């Protein structure tokens, strides 16, 4: 638990499932005030609001597509109207789909870039604007991926979006460090969520992914949420412009693990 997160105003995009849901609930446990953004799936939202309130936090659900400027502006407004501030912006919403690159349509390319990269940009820009206007030394956390550094055949749009998020975050961190605004990425490895549930239900596919994880297991959303809480807390006060990989060692060349090579 991080005492200084109590009462902080936080936005989490894509909060209705997977990593976003775990992050939102974790901030709730920290007794923060959380805007729960969802796009189409509002079913879990009411129960999440109640759960967060049961921890002593506050929450409100707000519909919005992160790739649309007005939706993102409405999220910031919701944080302001409901909680009087914005201290932490978590740009978590993301999508992926598997397509061999030579068959990838322009439409599919744009969809993934629009949500994963442009969405994170809009969320960062709007949050930073609000923080500058209100003299808040806040923090922005973008959900990148191990695929900001690991190439991923059949997911060229996804890898390109996360590679973009890497340099976007580093640039924003540099630009706003003098204002005390910290901007960081989390780079999850393979985490069991709806984005890959189908794949991991196939034992062969699951074993193949596990073989690429030195720690030997697929991560849990809560293991990413704890990283988000730390990055948002004052314990990370001197940390900006990094990607904190939480990947069980996936980025550390697992094929070398046995000392061969």
CA distance 211 to 209: 5
Residue 140 phi, psi (nearest 5): -115, 135
* Residues 17-51: b if buried by 16+ CB within 10 A, e if exposed: bbbbbbbbbbbbbbbbbbbbbbbeeeebbeebbeb
Which of 51-59, 77-85, 87-95, 229-237 is the region at the interface with ligand NAI (rule: CB under 6 A)?
Answer: 87-95
Residue 190 C-beta: closest distance to ligand NAI, Å: 5
Which of 59-67, 76-84, 127-135, 173-181 is the region at the interface with ligand NAI (rule: CB under 6 A)?
Answer: 59-67
Which of 50-58, 63-71, 79-87, 166-174 is the region at the interface with ligand NAI (rule: CB under 6 A)?
Answer: 63-71
Q: Which is nearer to ligand NAI, 5 or 112 (CB)?
A: 112
Q: Which is nearer to ligand NAI, 124 or 193 (CB)?
A: 193
Q: Is 190 among the residues that bind ligand NAI (CB under 6 A)?
A: yes
CA distance 108 to 243: 26
CA distance 251 to 173: 23
CA distance 121 to 39: 17
Q: Is 160 among the residues that bind ligand NAI (CB under 6 A)?
A: no
Q: Is 195 among the residues that bind ligand NAI (CB under 6 A)?
A: yes
Q: Which is nearer to ligand NAI, 57 or 221 (CB)?
A: 221
Tell me the DSSP string of 193-219: STTTHHHHHSHHHHHHHHTT-TT-S-B
Strands (E), 16-157: 33-38, 58-63, 88-91, 139-143
CA distance 252 to 261: 14
Q: Which is nearer to ligand NAI, 5 or 24 (CB)?
A: 24
Q: Which is nearer to ligand NAI, 108 or 179 (CB)?
A: 108
- Per CB under 6 A, the list member of 14, 28, 163, 248 interacting with ligand NAI is 14
- Per CB under 6 A, the list member of 10, 27, 83, 92 interacting with ligand NAI is 92
Which of 53-61, 62-70, 75-83, 100-108 is the region at the interface with ligand NAI (rule: CB under 6 A)?
Answer: 62-70
Residues classed as catalytic: 158
Tell me how crowded residue 103 is: count the other CB atoms within 10 A of its CB.
8
Residue ranges that bind ligand NAI, judged by CB under 6 A: 13-14, 16-20, 37, 39, 41, 65-67, 92-95, 115, 143, 145, 188, 190-191, 193-196
């Amino acid at each position: 638990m991080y005492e200084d997160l109590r009462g902080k105003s936080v936005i989490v995009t894509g909060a209705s499932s997977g990593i976003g849901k775990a992050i939102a609930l974790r901030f709730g446990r920290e007794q923060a005030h959380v805007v729960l953004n969802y796009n189409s799936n509002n079913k879990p939202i009411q129960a999440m609001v109640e759960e967060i309130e049961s921890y002593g936090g506050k929450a409100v659900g707000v519909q919005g597509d992160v790739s649309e400027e007005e939706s993102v502006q409405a999220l910031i407004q919701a944080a302001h109207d409901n909680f009087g501030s914005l201290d932490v912006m978590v740009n978590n919403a993301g999508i992926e789909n598997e397509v061999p690159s030579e068959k990838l349509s322009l439409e599919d390319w744009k969809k993934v870039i629009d949500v994963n990269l442009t969405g994170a940009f809009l969320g960062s820009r709007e949050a930073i604007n609000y923080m500058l206007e209100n003299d808040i030394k806040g923090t922005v956390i973008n959900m990148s991926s191990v695929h900001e550094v690991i190439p991923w055949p059949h997911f060229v749009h996804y890898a390109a979006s996360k590679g973009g998020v890497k340099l976007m975050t580093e640039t924003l961190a540099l630009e706003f460090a003098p204002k005390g605004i910290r901007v960081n990425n989390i780079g999850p490895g393979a985490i069991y969520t709806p984005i890959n549930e189908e794949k991991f239900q196939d034992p062969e596919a699951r074993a193949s992914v596990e073989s690429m994880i030195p720690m030997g297991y697929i991560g849990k959303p809560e293991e990413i949420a704890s990283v988000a809480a730390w990055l948002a807390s004052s314990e990370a006060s001197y940390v900006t412009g990094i990607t904190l990989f939480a990947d069980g060692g996936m980025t550390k060349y697992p094929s070398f693990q046995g000392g061969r090579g």
